[in-house]
């Protein structure tokens, strides 16, 4: 479908007013024609007990307020920058060029918390900040504090991150409107989007290649869904169509480090067959394109996104769901890339970059693809990221952060004073502060990802103790509860509290690891397949009190990599359910190195839930062999190794580095028993 012909008649003139959408999903796709599984409203699902309820409590009580203090004080400079741009304070712009976006993401997290606790202090605080932001906005709608305060030329350099900041402004403003019903923040976003439309739609030669960190595509689609103004959807598609149409060479807006595959501009998206370049830029781009497809249904667009998703998941993604194999490298087209994807199956562990934002963006992309295709495999990736490479970015306490998330850490490997994003201990403030608010807003909103509305039914995407009160597609009321100690136990009980009398579908995601799962209804075998990696669909007349029991086997499994991944040949990772485990040096004898740990293939590994350890986790224990002979040379002659058996405890990967500075590894060499 050509969206230009579809929309041309709709906006000969810019409207003076706009209508506000009535639905309020995190992704507001209730009326999106290209979506099979549609989002529930933001507050329809509430965590009640267990893992995610505990995480949300930490988010509400510690993560969100602590981050607010950082960004509105003098540690982070985001609010000060808006005050200076508004003429309310004297000073210079401080912090990175994308600091506005950091603040918008934090505001989004605060809005999600407010949606659940209705604390009037949060609402008053956000309204005060919105008033400052509105005063900082230029009369024509432009709003970028770093450009305004530094008196820079607009759109003169991709690295000003103007599009990134605008995208998060639009998204945050839409969420705030859906939660509060207020339009004060939305008015700011609309003026900014109208300005972008006026500047970019004529496609002046100087801006035909302009695009960097393309969060504005997602933001524009959400603004379209919120206001019903089709210009924003047209502009979102324009930012897709511009990529890959111009000669790739340095110009006034970008040097050689920020061109080509680095910014996904070498190949038009509809012709692309691999994930390339900066991982955050790429995955935001792909997620935004998925949002555009949800509205237009263009086959060429979804065909490309299908190829790219398979490239990410099957050839460039870590066992933790993390993305972005390297800090600095080259693409398959030999373009320089930064924090990015590199060639297929090149998966270093010690130098793995895996920016927290990239990992979260991987989940955002897969969540959108799940909605479009209605398939369980995409939710598997969302869950994998959430329990592993996303949560590793924040401490159990909720105040300290990782930016990069490698799969192996050895002493002194990252002790580089110039490495401002790679370190072995989480820190309370990262000068490049994009990841922390991204993670906190994700934790704050994840309950809205737990269920989706299907055609005459509900899909259960994520498991955790919760209560759901929603309306099915026909408007009928559905209320149910979910009780479970997932992911530490595989038993999940769903109980109908209220529902319509006519038959409807309950779709249970059977995770790709959960072979052998069983389903019972009111204690009786449901007599339907529960195939791993698919939704198990139960369609029947439901009534209040009906109970569905899903039992998922939670064996400890050893995971191996594709033989083409040289870095993990003859090594294994340990996984139980959706959680990937690691070895950490606090669990080893003194003076034992991570690289000395070998796992016998016949080792009996057992799990034990420890409620008072690392916030409450299941650990895994079993026999390993410690290599005692030490060789420090670059290359040495092999002698018969000296071994010592040891009973080792493994911890969830996301929980490492919460017991002081340590070494860590996900992958261990396997010791095969002789035939």
CATH number at residue 465: 2.60.40.1180
> Which pLDDT score, from 0 to 100, does residue 417 have?
47
Are residues 211 and 75 part of one domain?
Answer: yes
Are residues 116 and 2 part of one domain?
Answer: yes
425 is catalytic: no
User: Residue 177 phi/psi, 5° resolution?
Assistant: -65, -40
Mean pLDDT, rounded, for 550-578: 98
pTM, to two decimals:
0.96
Are residues 109 and 11 part of one domain?
Answer: yes
Q: Does 64 map to a domain?
A: yes
Per-residue pLDDT for 385 more than 90?
A: yes
Q: Which two tokens stand for residue 570?
A: 């003859």
Task: Tell me how far apart the 2 most distant CA atoms of the chain are, in Å.
Answer: 81
| Domain stops at, among 241, 270, 297 | 241
Mean pLDDT, rounded, for 361-382: 98
pLDDT in tens, 409-425: 998 655 554 567 999 99
Mean pLDDT, rounded, for 504-533: 97
Per-residue pLDDT for 83 more than 50?
A: yes
> Which pLDDT score, from 0 to 100, does residue 11 have?
36
| Domain stops at, among 241, 271, 304 | 241
Are residues 561 and 540 part of one domain?
Answer: no
Per-residue pLDDT for 208 more than 50?
A: yes
Contact 183, 17 (CB under 8 A): no
Q: Which two tokens stand for residue 576?
A: 């139980």
Q: Does 23 map to a domain?
A: no
Are residues 139 and 82 part of one domain?
Answer: yes
CB atoms within 10 A of CB 135: 14
Are residues 141 and 10 part of one domain?
Answer: yes
**276 band by pLDDT with thresholds 50, 70 and 90:** very high
Region for 232 from its dihedrals, namely left if φ exceeds 0, alpha if ψ lies in -120 to 50, beta otherwise:
alpha
Burial state string for 172-202 with b = 16 or more CB within 10 A and e = fewer than 16: bbbbbbbbbebbbbbbbbbbbbbbbbebbee
Q: Does 517 map to a domain?
A: yes
Catalytic residue among 60, 272, 298, 339: 339
Per-residue pLDDT for 501 more than 90?
A: yes
582 is catalytic: no
Are residues 218 and 101 part of one domain?
Answer: yes
| Domain stops at, among 193, 223, 241 | 241
Are residues 178 and 148 part of one domain?
Answer: yes
Per-residue pLDDT for 543 more than 50?
A: yes
Are residues 561 and 530 part of one domain?
Answer: no
pLDDT in tens, 628-647: 988 778 999 988 999 999 99
Sheet holding 457-460, edge to edge: 38-39, 451-454, 457-460, 504-510, 534-540
* Residue 97 to residue 112: CA distance in whole angstroms: 25
> Which pLDDT score, from 0 to 100, does residue 412 have?
65
What is the share, in percent, of the chain residues with pLDDT greater than 70?
95
Q: Does 594 map to a domain?
A: yes
Q: Please report, in angstroms and rounded to a whole number, the separation of the first and last CA atoms in the chain.
A: 61
Domains: count for the chain: 3
Nearest to 100 by CA among 70, 73, 77: 77
Are residues 211 and 99 part of one domain?
Answer: yes
Q: Which residue has tokens 């949606």?
A: 115
pLDDT in tens, 446-485: 999 999 999 999 999 999 999 999 999 999 999 999 999 9
> Which pLDDT score, from 0 to 100, does residue 252 have?
87
Are residues 577 and 537 part of one domain?
Answer: no
* Residue 313 to residue 553: CA distance in whole angstroms: 24
* Residue 374 to residue 361: CA distance in whole angstroms: 19
Per-residue pLDDT for 254 more than 70?
A: yes
**12 band by pLDDT with thresholds 50, 70 and 90:** very low
Mean pLDDT of the chain: 94
Q: Does 112 map to a domain?
A: yes
Q: Does 37 map to a domain?
A: no
* Residue 350 to residue 108: CA distance in whole angstroms: 34
* Residue 48 to residue 483: CA distance in whole angstroms: 9
Per-residue pLDDT for 17 more than 70?
A: no
Task: Give the CA angle between residues 407, 368, 453 to the nearest 5°.
Answer: 125
pLDDT in tens, 18-77: 656 456 889 999 999 999 999 999 999 999 999 999 999 999 999 999 999 999 999 999
Range(s) of the domain holding residue 595: 556-671
- SS3 letters across 418-434: CCCCCCCCCECCCCCCC
> Which pLDDT score, from 0 to 100, does residue 20 have?
60
Are residues 574 and 462 part of one domain?
Answer: no
Contact 454, 40 (CB under 8 A): no
pLDDT in tens, 109-154: 999 999 999 999 999 999 999 999 999 999 999 999 999 999 999 9
């Amino acid at each position: 479908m050509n969206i230009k012909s579809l929309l041309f008649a709709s906006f000969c003139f810019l409207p003076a007013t706009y209508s506000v959408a009535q639905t309020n999903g995190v992704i507001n796709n209730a009326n999106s024609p290209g979506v099979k599984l549609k989002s529930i409203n933001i507050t329809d699902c509430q965590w009640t007990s267990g893992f995610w309820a505990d995480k949300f409590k930490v988010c509400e009580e510690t993560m969100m307020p602590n981050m607010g203090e950082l960004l509105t004080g003098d540690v982070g400079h985001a609010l000060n920058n808006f005050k200076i741009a508004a003429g309310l304070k004297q000073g210079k712009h401080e912090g990175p060029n994308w600091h506005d976006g950091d603040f918008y993401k934090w505001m989004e997290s605060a809005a999600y918390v407010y949606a659940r606790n209705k604390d009037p202090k949060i609402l008053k605080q956000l309204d005060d900040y919105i008033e400052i932001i509105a005063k900082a906005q230029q009369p024509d709608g432009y709003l970028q504090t770093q450009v305004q305060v530094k008196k820079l030329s607009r759109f003169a350099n991709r690295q000003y991150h103007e599009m990134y900041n605008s995208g998060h402004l639009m998204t945050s403003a839409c969420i705030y409107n859906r939660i509060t019903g207020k339009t004060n923040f939305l008015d700011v976003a609309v003026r900014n989007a109208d300005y972008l439309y006026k500047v970019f739609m004529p496609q002046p030669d100087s801006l035909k290649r302009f695009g960097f960190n393309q969060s504005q595509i997602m933001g524009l689609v959400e603004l379209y869904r919120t206001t019903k103004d089709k210009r924003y959807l047209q502009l979102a598609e324009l930012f897709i169509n511009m990529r890959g149409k111009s000669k790739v060479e340095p110009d006034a807006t970008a040097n050689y480090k920020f061109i080509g595959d680095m910014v996904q501009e070498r190949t038009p998206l509809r012709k692309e067959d691999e994930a390339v370049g900066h991982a955050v830029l790429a995955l935001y781009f792909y997620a935004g394109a998925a949002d555009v497809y949800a509205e237009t249904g263009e086959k060429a667009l979804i065909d490309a996104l299908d190829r790219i998703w398979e490239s990410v998941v099957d050839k460039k993604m870590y066992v933790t769901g993390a993305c972005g194999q390297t800090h600095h490298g080259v693409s398959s087209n030999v373009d320089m890339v930064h924090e990015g994807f590199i060639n297929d199956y090149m998966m270093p562990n010690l130098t793995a970059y895996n920016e927290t934002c990239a990992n979260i963006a991987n989940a955002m992309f897969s969540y959108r693809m799940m909605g479009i295709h209605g398939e369980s495999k995409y939710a598997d990736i969302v869950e994998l990221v959430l329990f592993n490479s996303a949560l590793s970015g924040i401490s159990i306490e909720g105040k300290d952060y990782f930016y990069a998330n490698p799969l192996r850490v050895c002493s002194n490997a990252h002790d580089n004073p110039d490495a401002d994003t790679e370190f072995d201990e989480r820190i309370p403030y990262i000068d490049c502060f994009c990841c922390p608010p991204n993670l906190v807003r994700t934790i704050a909103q994840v309950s809205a990802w737990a269920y989706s509305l299907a055609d005459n039914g509900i899909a259960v995407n994520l498991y955790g103790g919760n209560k759901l009160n929603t309306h099915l597609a026909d408007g009928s009321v559905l209320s149910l509860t979910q009780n479970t100690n997932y992911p530490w136990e595989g038993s999940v009980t769903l109980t109908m509290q209220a529902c319509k009398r006519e038959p409807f579908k309950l779709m249970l995601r059977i995770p790709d690891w959960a072979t052998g799962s069983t389903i019972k209804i009111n204690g009786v075998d449901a007599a339907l397949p529960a195939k791993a990696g698919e939704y198990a669909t139960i369609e029947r007349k439901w009534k209040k009190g009906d109970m569905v029991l899903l039992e998922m086997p939670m064996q400890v499994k050893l995971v191996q990599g594709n033989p083409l991944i040289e870095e993990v040949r003859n090594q294994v990772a340990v996984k139980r359910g959706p959680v990937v485990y690691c070895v950490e040096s606090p669990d080893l004898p003194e003076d034992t190195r991570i690289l000395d740990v070998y796992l016998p293939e016949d080792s009996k590994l057992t799990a034990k839930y420890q409620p008072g350890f690392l916030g409450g986790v299941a650990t895994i224990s079993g026999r390993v062999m410690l290599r005692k002979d030490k060789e420090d040379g670059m290359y040495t002659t092999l002698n018969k190794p000296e071994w010592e058996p040891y009973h080792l405890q493994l911890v969830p990967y996301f929980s490492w580095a919460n017991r002081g500075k340590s070494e860590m590894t996900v992958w261990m060499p396997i010791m095969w028993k002789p035939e």
